[in-house]
């Protein structure tokens, strides 16, 4: 047997980076844990708390990631809703059809087709490059509905709430067409009386109130009278919903179009 076994180069690294003080501390800690049961318990509790802290951090990171994804999805959804009005009629019609299919998954293709708004009924308003806000509402009507104004046709502006209807009314009331707001705050009979006396040709309201007026017997405002419907598409309410998130909006627009083929739909 050789006396030089320790000098054999076996490829292993026997060098330690630990200092004498570190080794002594490690030994000291082991001695304390071995000799002091309370220290052992304290050490175990510390380890458990440390692990729980790490688990909490991992959960928080996962929660933050999910929240970020949810926020990104919400922002994308909001952007798509606001930009829908700027699309060409074919794209608008397809996106509205997709929303209808999503809301009524149990309907047959034939039943769904009866709810769709055809692209031929939608006017292209891409030429209007200004922001679609309250300040530019009057400009939009004057430029995009010029022919309707010249022909002294009747125009509906359909929006999601009475408050929004009042805001739009204030923005467009100086138009020579004259304007009326039709909202649930007023009694239905009062709105009908005003309509009989008024020479206004621009009506702003919610889908529910406008539908009730149009469907009332002997109403002064009929489906056949409507030449244009402006859907307040770019506005989002407090729930981040727009006019197309409500079934009654589709129902109103489709009913007017079915009763009056010359009527066209504009998205603002």
Q: What is the pLDDT of residue 4?
A: 43
What's the start-to-end Cα distance of the chain, in Å?
A: 97
Query: Facing residues of 228 across strands?
Result: 155, 264
Q: pTM for this structure?
A: 0.75
Per-residue pLDDT at 65 = 72
pLDDT at site 72: 87
Per-residue pLDDT at 54:
64
Q: Name the stretches of the chain with pLDDT < 50.
A: 1-34
Residue-wise pLDDT for 239-256, tens only, equals 999 999 999 999 999 999
> What pLDDT score does 33 carry?
44
Per-residue CA distances from 251 to 2, 38, 116, 210, 266 (Å): 100, 75, 10, 11, 16
Question: Where along the chain do its domains lie?
Answer: 18-85, 123-267
Tens digits of residue pLDDT in 164-175: 999 999 999 999
CATH 3.90.550.10 fits 123-267, yes or no: no
pLDDT given at position 58: 66
């Amino acid at each position: 047997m050789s006396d030089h076994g320790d000098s054999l180069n076996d490829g292993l690294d026997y060098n330690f980076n630990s200092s004498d003080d570190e080794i002594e501390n490690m030994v000291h800690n082991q001695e304390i844990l071995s000799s002091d049961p309370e220290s052992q318990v304290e050490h175990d509790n510390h380890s458990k708390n440390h692990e729980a802290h790490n688990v909490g951090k991992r959960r928080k990171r996962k929660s933050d990631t999910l929240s970020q994804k949810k926020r990104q999805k919400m922002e994308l959804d909001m952007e798509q809703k606001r930009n829908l009005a700027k699309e060409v009629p074919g794209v608008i019609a397809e996106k509205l059809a997709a929303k209808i299919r999503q809301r009524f998954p149990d309907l047959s293709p034939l039943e769904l087709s009866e709810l769709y708004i055809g692209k031929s009924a939608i006017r292209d308003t891409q030429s209007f490059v200004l922001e679609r806000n309250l300040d530019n509402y009057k400009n939009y009507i004057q430029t995009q509905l010029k022919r309707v104004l010249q022909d002294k046709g009747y125009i509906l502006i359909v929006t999601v709430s009475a408050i929004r209807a009042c805001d739009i009314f204030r923005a467009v009331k100086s138009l020579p067409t004259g304007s009326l707001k039709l909202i649930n705050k007023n009694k239905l009979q009062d709105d009908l009386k005003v309509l009989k006396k008024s020479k206004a040709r621009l009506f702003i309201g919610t889908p529910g109130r406008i539908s009730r007026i149009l469907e009332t017997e002997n109403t002064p405002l009929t489906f056949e009278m409507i030449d244009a419907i402006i859907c307040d598409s770019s506005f989002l309410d407090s729930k981040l919903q727009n006019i197309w998130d409500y079934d009654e909006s589709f129902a109103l627009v489709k009913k007017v179009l079915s009763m009056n083929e010359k009527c066209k739909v504009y998205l603002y």
